[in-house]
Amino acid sequence: MDETTDMYETLAQTAEAVAETAQRSADIHDEAADHLPGAGAHADRERRLAAAERAAAAAYRQREQPSREVRQQIRDLRPDSA
């Protein structure tokens, strides 16, 4: 594996890990939705983040950068942007 391929694979694995974390957060917030105001909206945002991160991982696996749209979604949906 050359250095460029290794870099893209590392980026893909990182994006997949973020997607997994976001999906777990969505699942937890779904469970808390009946008792925690705003949990349903938080879960929806986390699911969108997970989808965007999975799209980024797929692009990296093709040795491409994610589209501008995907990158913007990730920026907009990060927890620190809410």
> What are 17-32's pLDDT values in tens digits?
999 999 999 999 999 9
pTM of the model: 0.89
Angle between helices 39-61 and 68-77 (to 10 degrees): 150
78 band by pLDDT with thresholds 50, 70 and 90:
confident
**How many Å apart are CA 60 and CA 41, to the nearest integer?**
29
Q: Is the pLDDT of residue 79 over 80?
A: no
Please tell me the distance from the alpha carbon of residue 26 to that of residue 17, in angstroms, as a whole number. 14
pLDDT in tens, 32-41: 999 999 999 9
Q: Output the average pLDDT for the chain.
A: 94
* Statement: residue 1 has pLDDT above 90: no
Number of domains into which the chain is organized: 1
Q: Which domain range does residue 52 map to?
A: 3-81
